[in-house]
Amino acid sequence: MPSALFLYTSSHHGNTRKLVEFVASSLGARAVDLLRSAPPPFGDEELIVLASGVYFQTLSKPLLACIQSNAFAGRRVAILYTCGLPLCDYAKEAAGLLQRQGAIYLGSHGCRGFDSFGPLRYIGGIAKGRPNEADLRSALSFVSGLLRDASHPG
């Protein structure tokens, strides 16, 4: 199966880290926490997966900065995200940045994650227990499908 590289940020409750660790380990892929390490030089990965939680209806600033400061032109890229409420495609801004760079943007996959930011802390948060097993398997299915497509183009 083709290889993947996961670049992610995860803070607060670790929702995105949980998602990335599950998917990356299931696929034998490398995962880099952008809050702890700089992005590695890109190798021959068939797919780069960018992942983040949602903050004020967009992906994290460090992940957006990573997109702006790295060359994704010609690379197959997808986005995973976790959010308290699935109101829209929160990857839209990042997708636009990638497409303007000439990346081959393959889409996004979002799932719920425990959220206790701001006033939500007063009610104990929302989406407790998320991402759950079904969320993790759904994200794995999304990324696995992209990798299958890479090994059987056209």
Locate the DSSP E strands across 84-147. 104-112
pTM (two decimals): 0.93
β-strands 47-55, 58-59 pairing = antiparallel
CB atoms within 10 A of CB 88: 11
| CB distance 80 to 56 below 8 Å | no
Name the residue range of residue 79's domain. Answer: 4-151
Total structural domains in the chain?
A: 1
CATH code (residue 66): 3.40.50.360
Structure tokens at 111: 């799932």
| CB distance 78 to 139 below 8 Å | no
Give the single-character DSSP code of 74: T
Tens digits of pLDDT across the chain (154 residues): 569 999 999 988 899 999 999 999 999 999 999 999 999 999 899 999 999 999 989 999 999 999 999 999 999 999 999 998 898 999 999 999 999 999 999 999 999 998 888 888 888 887 898 999 999 999 999 999 999 987 765 5
